[in-house]
Chains A and B, each alone.
Chain A
Amino acid sequence: MQSQSLFTRMTGKNVLMSFTGPFDTEVLSIFGKNIENSISQNKKLNKTIFKVFIELAQNVSYYSLEKEMTKKGEKAGVGTFIIQDFNDYYYFVLGNPIDERHEAILRDKCSRINSYDRDGLRAYKRELRKLPPGERGTGNIGLVQAALVSRNPLDYTFIEINDSQSFYIVAVKINKD
């Protein structure tokens, strides 16, 4: 996929860990374990990265337009994630194709999340948590949690693939201090 290779080129520096493929439960758990145990010597920092990874990766699994059937017979969304190591922070980047019609909704959600202070984010998370699972919009609770846990705004962009698809990229900084 052209946008994915572009995405990989754009973010190819300082890469500690990366993956492209179906985000099934096995992939989530194996990478989760690696992040938790081996990103840095700082256990609490690893846990923060782990928390961000779990919340955002689950969104790929549920919402990526591209799906693959796994060996276990589950249908998992396909996407890419990269963890980069910079002097003061780790950068967690994640991307997946989406239906072009969802771009505006996602753009609004990300922009809304970035407009809130911490109390606003907490209130928004509570609002989303009260919705029954699977209801439209509830998946964004993971985005809110990523912003809360990382204490940084979301970086996001959309790359046009064709008339009906975009490649959605969301990234979060996790400070080392």
Chain B
Amino acid sequence: MENIYIEGSHTNFFVPTVEFNAETGVCVLSGESFLEDTIEFYDPLVQWLEEYTSEIKKPMTFEIKLTYFNTSTSRSILDLLNILKEYEDDGGEIIVNWHYDEDDIDMEEDIEDYMLDTGLEINMIPFDEDEF
């Protein structure tokens, strides 16, 4: 199974950095997400997670370090987290860490709401933006 690496950019649209590693099981989604075509971008990530959780089945650590995402992206994030929850329910080992700016109350609420929606335990890890 191939790894995914997408280098993020902040130009007219905001492409998040994606590092999904099939050998280590560590997946990182960071930066900002506001895309011209959200579904086109996230579909391969959804497929990758589906393949990993059905074929590789090793422990996973999912790290989210997004500082901004629009509501269109928020649907795709929900899809990713739902796959992780299904994996956990099927006996998969999964740790989800979500790093967020300690001053960003909107983001803090978003993470809490994702936990409510998915039933997945997400470790909320605040950081100081100036030191990030």
Q: Which residues of A contact B (CB under 8 A)?
A: 25-26, 29-30, 32-33, 44, 47, 51, 54-55, 58, 122, 125-126, 129-130, 133, 141-142, 145, 148-149
Contact = CB atoms under 8 A, between A and B. Distances in A.
Contacts of B78: 129-130
B113 A33 contact: no
Nearest to B76: A133
A122 B12 contact: no
Interface of B: 12-13, 34, 36, 39, 68, 70-72, 74-75, 78, 103, 106, 109, 113, 116-117
A33 to B, nearest CB: 6
Contacts of A55: 70-71
A129 B75 contact: yes
Given A30-B12, A47-B68, A149-B106, A126 B75 contact: no
Nearest to B77: A129
Given A55-B70, A145-B71, A133 B12 contact: no
Given A25-B36, A33-B12, A51 B68 contact: yes
Given A47-B68, A58-B72, A148-B106, A125 B113 contact: yes
B70 A126 contact: no
A81 to B, nearest CB: 16
Contacts of B106: 148-149
Given A26-B12, A47-B68, A58-B72, A126 B113 contact: yes
B12 A141 contact: no
A148 B70 CA distance: 13
14 contacts: A25-B13, A26-B12, A29-B12, A29-B13, A29-B36, A32-B34, A51-B70, A55-B71, A122-B109, A122-B113, A129-B71, A130-B117, A145-B71, A148-B106
Contact of A54 (B34, B39, B74, B116): B34
Contacts of B74: 129
A145 B39 CA distance: 19
Given A25-B36, A30-B12, A54 B113 contact: no
A70 B36 CA distance: 15
B96 to A, nearest CB: 18
Contacts of A51: 68, 70
Given A25-B36, A32-B12, A129-B117, 4 more contacts: A126-B113, A130-B78, A145-B71, A148-B106
A29 B13 CA distance: 6
A111 to B, nearest CB: 20
Contacts of B68: 47, 51
A33 B113 CA distance: 28
Contacts of A25: 13, 36
Given A26-B12, A29-B13, A133 B39 contact: yes
